[in-house]
Structure 1
Amino acid sequence: MDHATTQGLHIISAEIGEGALDGGCKYGGRALLDAGLALVLADAGCELQSLTTVTSDPLHAHDRMDTVARFSRALADAAARRVRSGTQLLVLGGDHSCAIGTWSGVAQALSPQGRLGLIWVDAHLDAHTPESSESHAPHGMPLAALLGHGSAAFTDLFGWSGKIQARNLVIIGARSYESAERRLLEALGVQVIYMEEVVHRGFDACFAQAQATVSAGCAGWGLSFDLDGLDPADAPATGTPVRHGISLAQATAALHRCRDDARFVGLEIAEYNPLRDYGGKTASAVQALAVAGLGRDVQTLSIAPMVRTC
């Protein structure tokens, strides 16, 4: 996918909170758009084409897992359509179970050309299956599902599993996880750059290494960024903040690499909870990440605090 031939940027508001223990992140995408994120991206040089809203519907589901499965199918269909049309994606979560739908759809769209690579920035490993998870919260399962492990309702969207191959996935910033998740990822051979290594080497160096890994031999690659990957001092309004994370300044400096790579297909930002965002500090962090990864004219843009309007 070449920037010269893309048809601009498409935003998907992925409205789901049922995958988390605290469902407030369901309103994250809507709050960010109400606060003017699309206008900020336009000012940064993004050619905004359209907006899709995908909303979970627990009233017509059997349980929480079924809610996430139904939502994932709808989101996957929306993401696949947009990637096939040549647009770059910005997906605004939503709890991180939204990644099942986002990247299943992108992988499906790219499959005639090749594989999808993925960088996953997160304080957690998100590699539980229903059998290994004590909380049974689906937002702790998306990576396992994308790798082909877990509930068939999550793994087999579009009739096939293994949307991401282990060699095309790199996790950065993990510092809170369970042994079952780590064992699964180690058995599969997934590269995990834990937070200790990020501190030692710097986020930019780790991100550059991850970019080279996930893009090698792939038709395209994407970035799924859980806000709890950041330090809570910069992004406090998430469902599961973890101390000693990546600084916002380091993250935005590294994400400039995304917009300079013609193979970059999209950015997903998950776990923003506007109900906890007093003063809009975390919304400003989302704005900065989106502009860094997707903006074309960032040198002339002044990042101002965003005020939550909902």
Structure 2
Amino acid sequence: MDQARKPLHIVSAAVGEGAGDSGCKYAASALLASGMAQALADAGREVHAGTAVASDPLQASDRMDTIARFNHALAEAVLPLARGGAQLLVLGGDHSCAIGSWSGMAQALRPQGPLGLIWIDAHLDAHTPDSSESNAPHGMPLAALLGHGCAAFTQLFGWSGKIRPEHLFIIGARSYESAERILLDSLGVRVFFMEEVAREGFESCFAQAREKVGAECAGWGVSMDIDGLDPLDAPATGTPVAHGISLAEATAALRGCRDDPRFMGLEIVEYNPLHDFGGKTARAVRALAVAGLGQDGPAAGAAAATPGA
């Protein structure tokens, strides 16, 4: 089944407790209210937007427990959708939601083979509770997916190492701590730091990562933190970092995902609608989603968005 014929499920991952500024918890609801589902339907996809998972700190003992409980629920919600062959657009939320998103997809794919992941971010997000001074969970998802950190994050579905180091590619990093780099270097993870991206071009770096995950993995996806983009294009995020990837470069590269039947989905996180005066960043998020998940050609616009999952 080609990508355009697959149902596209939008999963709302409403969590903000993992970040310093929790306004990103409202990202999915704001994006849906501003026309995300319709934009994808107009781009030729059959869209379902009824799957939503929200964090509930009142049921948790502390911040880490809030994130652990949330990601368990998110992984359980993602699993049947991915197992059923749907393609996913996960709208975070802070980046800790990646633990649940990609654990669910890895579990669905496990009988067929490994999951590949391209991670676009200004940060490395590879802290563990022992290495993080802030103890902010949105700085820990990559370590957790690689099998490092607390068991509540690493052991979803009873196994760790959802992503193998050789199947992870990080693009755009330019703000990080030494402990994160030491861990990733020790594992052999390929990081395209922003200096290399600026020199070689984002599309070239993305194409190199795509070639590897396409050749070696049964399925793959993209997790994109909005702060990976240049703040001039996407200012409404909690931790903007100057001199990032341009929106034009990012959308051009994501269009190349459309023709790969093993492309399982796109996750976009850390959009903060409370800071999005004029809606510039919401438009950037929609452009990214349509670039990676839309369909060009005469069929575009023929599908309809439906509220159910």
**What is the TM-score when the length of structure 2 is the normalising length?**
0.95
Q: Which whole-Å CA distance do the structure 2 matches of 1:230 and 1:188 have between them? A: 26
Check the 8 A contact 1:204/1:251 in 2, yes or no.
yes
> Which range moves more in the overlay, 82-91 or 289-298?
289-298
1:299 Cα deviation from its structure 2 partner = 9.2
Structure 2: gaps spanning 5 or more residues: 302-309
**Distance 1:178-1:4 versus aligned 2 partners, 3 A rule:** closer
Aligned counterpart, 1:195? 194
Moved beyond 4 Å, runs of 4+: 298-302
Using the alignment, how far apart are the partners of 1:234 and 1:79 within structure 2? 30
Number of aligned residue pairs: give it. 301
Using the TM superposition, name which of 4-13 and 265-274 deviates more: 4-13
Matches within 5 A, 1:85-124: 85-124=84-123
Counterpart-to-counterpart distance in 1, 2:5 and 2:117? 20
Aligned-pair distance for 1:51? 2.2
Equivalent in the alignment of 1:51: 50
Contact 2:251 2:287 in 1 (8 A): yes
Q: Report SS of the residue matched to 1:173.
A: strand
CA distance in 1, matches of 2:133, 2:146: 20
SS in 2 for 1:272: coil
Once residues 2 and 113 of structure 2 are traced to their aligned partners in structure 1, the CA distance between those partners, rounded to angstroms, is 18
| Whole-Å separation in 2 of the counterparts to 1:160 and 1:77 | 14
Local SS of the residue matching 2:279: helix
- Could you tell which deviates more after superposition, 89-98 or 40-49? 40-49
Aligned to 1:150: 149
What corresponds to 1:13 in structure 2?
A: 12
* 1:66-215 aligned within 5 A: 66-215=65-214
Q: Is the contact between residue 251 and residue 289 of structure 1 (CA under 8 Å) also seen in structure 2?
A: yes
Return the offset for 1:300.
9.9
Task: Check 1:5–1:272 CA distance in 2 against 1; reply closer, same or farther (3 A cut).
Answer: closer
**RMSD across aligned C-alpha pairs, in angstroms?**
1.6
CA contact (8 A) 2:3 2:258 kept: no
Secondary structure (helix, strand or coil) at the match of 2:104 reads helix
Residue aligning to 1:26: 25
- Distance change in 2, residues 1:61/1:126 (3 Å): same
Structure 1 position 297, deviation (Å): 2.4
Q: What is the Cα deviation at residue 244 of structure 1?
A: 0.1
Q: Percent identity?
A: 70
3-state SS in 2 of match to 1:97? helix
Structure 1 pair 45/174, CA: closer, same or farther in 2 (3 Å)? same
Per-residue CA deviations over 1:233-292 (Å, capped at 9, x if unaligned) read: 000000100000000000000001111111100000000000000000000000000000
Q: Which amino acid aligns with 1:153?
A: A
Cα distance in 1 between the residues matched to 2:117 and 2:234: 23
Structure 2 residue identity aligned to 1:168: H
C-alpha distance 188-87 of structure 1, shift in aligned 2 (>3 A): same
Q: Whose RCO is larger (CA < 8 A, sep 6+)?
A: 2
Aligned AA (2:178)? S
The match for 1:63 is 62
Asked if the contact 1:94/1:270 (under 8 Å) is kept, the reply is yes
**Does the 8 Å contact 1:6/1:86 carry over to 2?**
no
TM-score w.r.t. the length of structure 1 is 0.95
Which letter does structure 1 place at the counterpart of 2:201? G
User: 2:107 & 2:198 partners in 1: Cα distance?
Assistant: 35
**Counterpart contact for 2:4–2:44, Cα < 8 Å:** no
